[in-house]
């Protein structure tokens, strides 16, 4: 049924889904507990701080969610890869290739039976909103990746997540044990008009561990989606997130990191490219829960056509986190007179002994830069693309070396699709 504009599964729907995925009693109970939370959640209102720009009606799957709880057979094709990869499709167990099996990681379907409370709390924290609660109830493809202590992998693990069903609810947990080092590339792609994606990813970074995480969203036109990436970094741990948002029609991403131990570090780099009538909404959050922690956020946005972007970035330094340092920057490049970018950087500092900075700009492309390149014999379309690539370069430099070439290719392909500004 649908209540007050949101789809509300019945307990029988949830039990059927859990049975089809082969879950045990603990997993079913976790879903039913999340169902109670979800039922109590109101639809986010446009007066809510983080939803002032996005209408939830465009993101929720509606009654199609309930019909998809029966998990009809779904077929898909994805591009072949020789890299370690896992394919996540609704209603099916994760499909690993041999290269992924050889990495030495524990990669398995996501069942709640063997998860501790901390792991579940990262994916769906106690303050989780409507969408995270819905994912906890009705996720229909899930993956657990556990990186053993002190294991260091040279090759990135690719998670391929196509939007092949009307309602795709992927759920991923990555647990990086003490001293380990891993790179995970999460790719969301495909889909067609009317498809909805509601996905959550949780990253646990143990003491002295390093996790490099790349999220690429390149859905087809007509796909709307909400993605959440939440991480927790322990003492002397390091989390590096690179995010590229280039596809879909209406997209909202929530990216958060809790720095929970001294010496913990988190770095987020974002590249957003929008055109036509795309609407791309991003929220980042760094919470410094412990002293002598460090964070940095660098988000670059380039828009053309009637595209619109909104960015809200929160840095919160708790009272018990002296000696912390946090930086935040959001730059927006407008390639047309009808493109629009909104930026809301925020600081909540509860102790005096800190170093914080933030900045935000929105401006049109510099015509002198374009003219200079044209005077050297470069066509205007190519000159604009070169200027945008230069604008993004410092942010792309933050991307892990192992996947930089892949991200460069995504950016170049999207810039070619955007074409020249009016």
Among 88-97, 238-247, 310-319, where is mean pLDDT lowest?
Answer: 88-97
Query: What does the pLDDT read at residue 265?
Result: 98
Rounded to whole angstroms, how far apart are CA atoms 256 and 240?
A: 12
Mean pLDDT of 137-154: 94
By residue count, the chain amounts to 422
Structure tokens at 99: 């290269």
Question: In the structure, what pLDDT confidence band is assigned to residue 126 with cuts at 50, 70 and 90?
Answer: low
Query: What does the pLDDT read at residue 85?
Result: 95
pLDDT of 422 above 70: no
Rounded to whole angstroms, how far apart are CA atoms 320 and 309?
A: 34
Phi then psi for 43, rounded to 5 degrees?
-60, 135
Q: List Cα–Cα distances, 89 to 216, 229, 253, 254, 271, in angstroms.
A: 17, 19, 21, 22, 26
Mean pLDDT of 273-282: 96
Rounded to two decimals, the pTM is: 0.93
Structure tokens at 200: 């959550």
Structure tokens at 180: 């380990």
Could you read off the pLDDT of 304-347 as tens digits, one per residue?
Answer: 999 999 999 999 999 999 999 999 999 999 999 999 999 999 99
The pLDDT > 70 percentage for the chain reads 90
Query: What does the pLDDT read at residue 240?
Result: 97
pLDDT of 137 above 50: yes
Q: Is 90 helix (H, G, I), strand (E, B) or coil?
A: coil
Mean pLDDT of 40-59: 86
More confident residue, 77 or 151: 151
Question: In the structure, what pLDDT confidence band is assigned to residue 87 with cuts at 50, 70 and 90?
Answer: very high
- Strands annotated E in 209-292: 210-219, 224-233, 238-245, 250-259, 265-274, 279-288
Rounded to whole angstroms, how far apart are CA atoms 384 and 380?
A: 6
Q: List Cα–Cα distances, 388 to 223, 243, 366, 414, 418, in angstroms.
A: 25, 17, 10, 11, 11
More confident residue, 414 or 208: 208
Structure tokens at 191: 């889909």
Residues 6+ apart with CB under 8 A from 138: 9, 14, 17, 31, 65, 69, 167, 169
Packing angle, helices 11-20 and 25-40, rounded to 10: 140
Please give the distance of CA 233 from its chain centroid, rounded to a whole number.
17
Question: In the structure, what pLDDT confidence band is assigned to residue 117 with cuts at 50, 70 and 90?
Answer: low
Q: State the chain's mean pLDDT as an integer.
A: 89
Rounded to whole angstroms, how far apart are CA atoms 82 and 41?
A: 43
Neighbour-count burial for 310-339, b at 16+ CB within 10 Å, e otherwise: bbbbbbbbbeebebbbbbbbbbbbbbbeeb
DSSP-assigned letters across all residues of 23-68 = --HHHHHHHHHHHHHHHHPPPPPTTSGGGSS--GGGTS-TTHHHHH
Beta carbons of 212 and 400 less than 8 angstroms apart: yes
Query: What does the pLDDT read at residue 419?
Result: 62
Beta carbons of 182 and 205 less than 8 angstroms apart: no
Mean pLDDT of 362-382: 91
Among 276-280, 309-313, 363-367, where is mean pLDDT lowest?
Answer: 363-367
pLDDT of 40 above 60: yes
DSSP-assigned letters across all residues of 145-199 = EEE-TT-B-SSPEEEEEE--SSEE-EEEEEEE-TT-EEEEEEEEEE--TT-EEEE
**Which residue's structure tokens are 């990555």?**
174
pLDDT of 420 above 50: no
DSSP-assigned letters across all residues of 256-279 = EEEE-STT-EEEEEEEEEE-TT-E
Q: List Cα–Cα distances, 139 to 111, 162, 399, in angstroms.
A: 11, 14, 29
Mean pLDDT of 363-381: 91
């Amino acid at each position: 049924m649908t209540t007050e504009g949101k789809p509300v599964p019945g307990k029988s729907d949830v039990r059927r889904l859990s049975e089809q995925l082969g879950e045990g009693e603990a997993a079913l109970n976790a879903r039913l507990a999340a169902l109670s939370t979800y039922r109590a959640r109101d639809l986010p209102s446009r007066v809510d701080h983080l939803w002032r720009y996005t209408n939830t009606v465009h993101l929720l799957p509606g009654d199609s969610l309930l019909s998809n709880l029966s998990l009809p057979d779904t077929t898909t094709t994805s591009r072949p890869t020789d890299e370690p990869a896992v394919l996540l499709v609704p209603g099916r167990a994760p499909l690993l290739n041999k290269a992924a099996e050889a990495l030495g990681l524990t990669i398995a379907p996501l069942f709640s039976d063997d998860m501790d409370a901390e792991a579940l709390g990262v994916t769906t924290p106690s303050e989780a909103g409507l969408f995270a609660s819905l994912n906890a109830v009705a996720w229909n493809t899930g993956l657990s990746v556990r990186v053993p202590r002190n294991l260091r992998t040279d090759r990135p693990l690719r998670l391929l997540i196509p939007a092949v069903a009307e309602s795709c609810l992927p759920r991923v947990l990555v647990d990086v044990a003490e001293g380990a080092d891993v790179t995970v590339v999460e790719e969301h792609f495909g889909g067609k008009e009317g498809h909805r994606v509601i996905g959550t990813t949780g990253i646990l970074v143990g003491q002295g561990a390093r996790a490099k995480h790349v999220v690429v969203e390149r859905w087809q036109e007509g796909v709307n989606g909400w993605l959440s990436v939440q991480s927790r970094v322990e003492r002397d741990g390091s989390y590096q997130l690179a995010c590229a948002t280039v596809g879909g029609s209406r997209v909202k991403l929530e990216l958060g990191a809790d720095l929970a131990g001294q010496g913990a570090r988190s770095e987020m780099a974002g590249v957003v490219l929008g055109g036509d009538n795309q609407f791309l909404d991003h929220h980042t959050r760094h919470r410094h829960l412990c002293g002598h922690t460090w964070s940095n956020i660098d988000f670059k946005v380039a828009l053309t056509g009637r595209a619109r972007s909104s960015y809200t970035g929160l840095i919160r330094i708790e009272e018990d986190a002296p000696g912390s340092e946090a930086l935040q920057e959001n730059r927006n490049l407008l390639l047309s007179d009808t493109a629009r970018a909104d930026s809301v950087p925020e600081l909540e500092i509860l102790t005096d002994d800190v170093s914080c900075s933030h900045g935000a700009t929105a401006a049109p492309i510099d015509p002198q830069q374009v003219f200079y390149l044209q005077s050297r014999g470069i066509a205007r379309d190519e000159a604009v693309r070169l200027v945008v690539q230069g604008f993004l370069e410092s942010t792309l430099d933050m991307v892990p070396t192992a996947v930089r070439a892949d991200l460069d290719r995504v950016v170049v392909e999207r810039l070619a699709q955007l074409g020249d500004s009016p």
